[in-house]
Amino acid sequence: MPVPTLILVHEPEAACLGRLLAEGFDKGHAAEIASYLAQSTDLAVEFDDLSQACKAHGLTFRPVELDDASAALAGQNPERTLVWTLTDGIAYFRGGAAPALARLNGLRTIGADDTLFALCQDKFRSGAVLGAHGLPVPSAGLARNGEWLVEPPSSGSGWFVKPNRLGAKIGIWPDSRCHDLGSALEISRRIFGAYRDDALVQPYVPGRNVRASFLGLERRAGVEALGISFVDSGSDFQTMDDSLALYGETGEAAKTQGIYAEPLLEAVIDSQPGADRKIRELTGKLMRSLGLHDVFSLDLRVEPDDTLHLIEFEVCPGLPCFDFRSYCGTQWHLALPEAIARTAANRLIDSGSKPI
């Protein structure tokens, strides 16, 4: 009888970079865009550890590059195959195709269904859907190359401008927070020129940055398994340069030079238990209404009085990133490879602990 198999589909930085250059992107900006796939680079060095961890749980581990996924998933045994998509994307990145390919082949997946892979990558549409569910999402306008597609609401605290479909960052440049709409339109021109993307323009919201991480290692895990932490990088928001200094080849270079510095993580419950409770309630609503499960993360801003602002959700959180590793250690007391392997085993093994 075939051994149950975990297939991890990932899009490499190099493949994305080559495609963007072929599409005419500037080399520097293409490298910035591809850097959002650094989790594929960072996790690849642990594939042997993942393979050993899976083997210990009676599974075969098979990493598959996205360009090979169509052929790799075809003909797999639906009862003995689990597909985990590491990298998402519907624009610059194409990982959102992987769960759709799995569904096409009748294969089970880790994570949300493929419709959410598309929704979470379009911040304007995602915000509209989350707002319709009554969740505390900042309202937004949308600009394209200096022209309004949707005018933003008024704001006494200025506005925040970010690409609509690129990665999961709160901003790109230090002036992403601006105080007049003329500046917002100018930033939208820069975003369009550099990344060919629309710009989301939201009223600036105060508070500290919070990351809520979830891994449903146990099948019935709920909001009690969330890890909710303040993320303190020493600045109000993360820029592209901040991101480049943390992950992939640039992050490794920073470690070599002794200048690598991870943001500090502080459990929200330690200082704002009310905010922790409200985030769990909000997450429970997302799990019920949108169908988030298995693995995901939320980015929020939290004010001192526990007021929440939901910035976005991700269905492919950066597994090898410092915050998710910390979450796996704190919540599940496991290193990342073992946490991934055990989660997959709990999906591929039935209640009688026999392969299905």
pLDDT digits (tens, 9 = 90+) for 157-187: 999 999 999 865 556 788 899 999 999 999 9
Q: Which of 111-125, 228-242, 272-286 has the lowest mean pLDDT?
A: 228-242
pLDDT digits (tens, 9 = 90+) for 264-322: 999 999 999 999 999 999 999 999 999 999 999 999 999 999 999 999 999 999 999 99
The pLDDT value recorded for residue 90 is: 85
CATH code: domain 208-336 is 3.30.470.20
The pLDDT value recorded for residue 246 is: 60
HEC string of the chain equals: CCCCEEEEEECCHHHHHHHHHHCCCCHHHHHHHHHHHHHHHHHHCCHHHHHHHHHHCCCEEEEEEHHHHHHHHCCCCCCCEEEEECCCCCCCCCCCHHHHHHHHCCCEEECCCHHHHHHCCCHHHHHHHHHHCCCCCCCCEEEECCEEEECCCCCCCCEEEEECCCCCCCCCCHHHEECCHHHHHHHHHHHHHHHCCCEEEEECCCCEEEEEEEECCCCCCCHHHCEEEEEECCCCCCCHHHHHCCCHHHHHHHHHCCCCCCCEEEEHHHHCHHHHHHHHHHHHHHHHHCCCCCEEEEEEEECCCCCEEEEEEECCCCCCCHHHHHHHHHHHCCCHHHHHHHHHHHHHECCCCCEC
Indicate whether 101 pLDDT > 50: yes
Written out in words, the top-level CATH class of the domain with range 5-111 is alpha beta
Model confidence band, residue 1 (pLDDT cutoffs 50, 70, 90): low
Indicate whether 332 pLDDT > 80: yes
Query: 5-111 with 208-336: one CATH topology?
Result: no
The pLDDT value recorded for residue 352 is: 37
Structural domain spans, the chain: 5-111, 139-203, 208-336
Indicate whether 61 pLDDT > 50: yes
